[in-house]
Each structure stands twice: as structure tokens, then as C-alpha cells.
Amino acid sequence: MAQYTPLWGNHLSPQRRRTVKILTILFIVALLISVGWSIMLNISRRYTASIDLADVKMIQLEKPAEGAPCAVVHTTVGDMTFLLYPEEAPQAVENFTNLVESSYYDNTYVFRVEEDVFFAAGSPNADGTLAEGASDTAAESVPRELSQNLWPLRGALCALTTKAEGGFWQRLSGTQEYFNGSRFLVLDSIEMTDEIVEGLRSSSEEENPVAEALIEQGGIPNYAQQMTIFGQLIDGWDVLETITNAPLTGEEDAMRPQEDIQIKSVEMQAYTQKTADS
């Protein structure tokens, strides 16, 4: 009876086995490189070069239209007025407006400060946590909205990302879905050093209104197209500076103000030039 000889067996000479082994390893390496390259291309297509700078409108620098929606945030250190952008981030503005109208933000806290970078606010607890069970509500599951007309300039009002959905491959390929909630950030600005200015201006061969706005107005360039921006500070710059320069507790990973800074209330208003001039 003929004996069965496996395909990958001792019938191959040692030299032939080494050759087959090397070819197999090379095939696996090539396959991994191919998969990795495909993933990187996916990420690149998703997050880079998708914005035509010629189509960008720097609406945060435009004069507000009469009757445009505004939110006045009354804090224990002063008032801040934000112009809202429902056409660019409709779901975030709707969520924020609903929370304002339900008095959700009354007596909430500024719970995190990055000196001269941002402050985070809108939590019912001083440590930034939500009320029990709140994370499962619709108010904490608003899909992220990215607009080519809204950028992380100084004074930008941003929805804090609450969660991401997707497994390992979604994380690897950059196809996760991100969601916002009730808490928010207000951006200050990094120092625009010569190196940063040069980097911003060299990021594109064409005229770049985003880079120039960041250079002139300040902001956080690396937050660009990373979170929902749904408003812009138009009054209360001194309050922004007060909060982002507040003494902190010094507790590890806390970064909370030593003395509580709270939002007393928020009210919705329609923008008027008369109000702006008063």
C-alpha cells in the first residue's frame, strides 16, 4: 500500500524546505503590508484632503446676522455670550437649546481647565461626571458633526465627545462613530510661536484662510475637524481668560479650579446690534 506523503513533509529536501518557508514568510509579510496600506489609505481618504479651501467660509469671523440665535452663559465669574450655528451643527445646537430650556445647566460646574487652552463645563458634578443613568440618554448620544466652515479658533464652543462606537477594525480604519453630549469645551489658545506659524502656513500650497485665522485669532490647531463646534464666543473674553487662568487644585489628574466656578444659568437670546453695542 502506498504511504501517504503530506504536501508539507519530509519528502522535500532541506534546501527546498527552506525556500518554501522563506516564500511563505514573504507572502505573509506582503499580505500584512497590503492590509496595512489599505487601512492607511482609508484613514487618509476619510480625514485628510477632503476640504477644498476655496469653498471654506470663515463664518466665525463674520458679523452676526440680526436675529441669529445666541446663548448667554451666566457664570459665577461673569457672563459669556455665544453665537450658535444651527445650519452647520443642527443636532448639537438643538441638543444644547433643549438642555438650556429645561434649565439643565443651572448650577453646573466648570470641571476641567487646561491653562490657556480650554475649559470644560456643563457637568452636574464638580468632578465632571454625569448623573447616574444619564450616559444612556439621547442628550448624551448626539452624532458628531464636522463642518468645513467651523474651526477651533479662540472662543469656539465645542461639544465634548462622550463615546465612540465600533470594534477593533473600526478603530484601526478610522471608521468609528463618535457622539457628543451635554458637556462642552470653550477654547482659548496655544502660543502661536514662529515654528507653529510656519507649520500652519506651509500646510497648504494654496491660500489658507483657516491657517491665517488661527494665526491672527488664536486657537487650538490640532483640534481641527476632531470635534463638533457649534458656537463662537462674541462677548465675555475677559471671563474666558479668568477661567482658563484660574488656580487649580493640583490634585493628580483633576485639573479643577481650586474654588468652584459654576454656571448659574443659561438663557437663549436673538442677536441684535443694539444689544451688542450696549
Q: Which domain holds residue 41?
A: 1-50
The pLDDT tens digits of the residues spanning 18-44 come to 665 666 666 565 555 554 544 444 433
The pLDDT tens digits of the residues spanning 100-122 come to 999 999 999 999 999 989 999 99
pLDDT of residue 167: 63
C-alpha cell belonging to residue 3: 504511504
pLDDT of residue 256: 92
Q: Give the separation between CA 35 and CA 170, rounded to whole angstroms.
A: 14
| Judgement on whether residues 13 and 59 belong to the same structural domain of the protein | no
| Judgement on whether residues 80 and 32 belong to the same structural domain of the protein | no
| Judgement on whether residues 44 and 59 belong to the same structural domain of the protein | no
| Judgement on whether residues 59 and 189 belong to the same structural domain of the protein | yes
Q: Give the separation between CA 71 and CA 269, rounded to whole angstroms.
A: 6
CATH number, residue 235: 2.40.100.10
| Judgement on whether residues 229 and 92 belong to the same structural domain of the protein | yes
Q: Backbone phi, then psi, for 91, in 5-degree steps?
A: -70, -40
| Judgement on whether residues 68 and 179 belong to the same structural domain of the protein | yes
C-alpha cell belonging to residue 17: 524546505
| Judgement on whether residues 86 and 111 belong to the same structural domain of the protein | yes
| Judgement on whether residues 147 and 129 belong to the same structural domain of the protein | yes
What does DSSP say about strands 177-187 and 108-114: parallel, antiparallel, or unpaired? unpaired
C-alpha cell belonging to residue 181: 453630549
| Judgement on whether residues 58 and 31 belong to the same structural domain of the protein | no
Q: Which stretches in the chain have pLDDT values below 70?
A: 1-49, 166-175, 252-253, 274-278
Counting the structural domains of the chain, the total is: 2
Q: Give the separation between CA 31 and CA 39, rounded to whole angstroms.
A: 12
pLDDT of residue 30: 57
Q: Is residue 263 within 8 Å of residue 105, measured between CB atoms?
A: yes
C-alpha cell belonging to residue 88: 452647520
Task: Please state whether 128 falls in left (phi above 0), alpha (psi between -120 and 50) or beta.
Answer: left
| Judgement on whether residues 14 and 80 belong to the same structural domain of the protein | no
| Judgement on whether residues 106 and 181 belong to the same structural domain of the protein | yes
pLDDT of residue 98: 98
| Judgement on whether residues 21 and 110 belong to the same structural domain of the protein | no
Q: Give the separation between CA 140 and CA 163, rounded to whole angstroms.
A: 9
